[in-house]
């Protein structure tokens, strides 16, 4: 049990430090987004267009429908996301990035690239590959 809690702690620490560095870089660029807003923009950027209801299945995003609705509404009001009715299901909303949202997604991608550069300066490509393979094995085993 000890190794499990230590590994869990270490992974969480790395994730928190990485997210903080990511957030700090964006803040230096004059961008202030909540983690939920950033996750939503990244998810829509990744898919091109996404149903609002699909956001509830994303890791690290609130699973409450009302919370997801508030996050999306805020992004729509700030001009990052365009929302339209799904022509096949009137209850469903389709989300796409606006031009402003695409610029934000590009900035977030740059912040991620900065994090990757830092990691690559700390670990060789062989070490990174070994670490990734080891973590994937652990995930499959748990």
| Total domains present in the chain | 1
CA distance 82 to 4: 42
pLDDT at 12: 81
In a domain, 9, yes or no: no
User: pLDDT 10s per residue in the chain (142 long)?
Assistant: 566 677 778 888 887 888 888 888 888 888 888 888 988 999 999 999 998 888 888 777 666 788 888 999 999 999 999 999 888 888 888 999 999 999 999 999 988 888 888 888 888 889 988 988 888 887 787 7
Tokens of residue 113, six digits: 């690239």
In a domain, 133, yes or no: yes
CA distance 87 to 125: 47
In a domain, 34, yes or no: yes
In a domain, 18, yes or no: no
Q: CB of 96 within 8 A of CB of 81?
A: yes
Tokens of residue 20, six digits: 């903080």
Q: Which CATH number fits the domain that encloses residue 121?
A: 1.10.10.10
**Which stretches does DSSP call E strand in 19-125?**
49-51, 81-86, 89-97
In terms of residue numbers, what domain contains 65? 23-141
């Amino acid at each position: 049990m000890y190794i499990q809690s230590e590994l869990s702690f270490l992974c969480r620490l790395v994730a928190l430090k990485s997210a903080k560095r990511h957030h700090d870089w964006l803040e230096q660029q004059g961008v202030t987004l909540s983690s939920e807003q950033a996750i939503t923009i990244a998810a829509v950027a990744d898919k091109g267009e996404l149903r609002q209801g699909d956001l509830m299945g994303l890791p690290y995003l609130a699973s409450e429908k009302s919370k997801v609705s508030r996050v999306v509404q805020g992004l729509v009001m700030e001009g990052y996301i365009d929302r339209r009715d799904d022509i096949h299901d009137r209850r469903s909303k389709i989300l796409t990035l606006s031009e402003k949202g695409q610029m934000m997604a590009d900035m977030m991608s740059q912040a991620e690239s900065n994090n990757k550069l830092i990691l690559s300066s700390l670990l060789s490509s062989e070490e990174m590959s070994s670490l990734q393979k080891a973590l994937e094995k652990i995930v499959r085993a748990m």
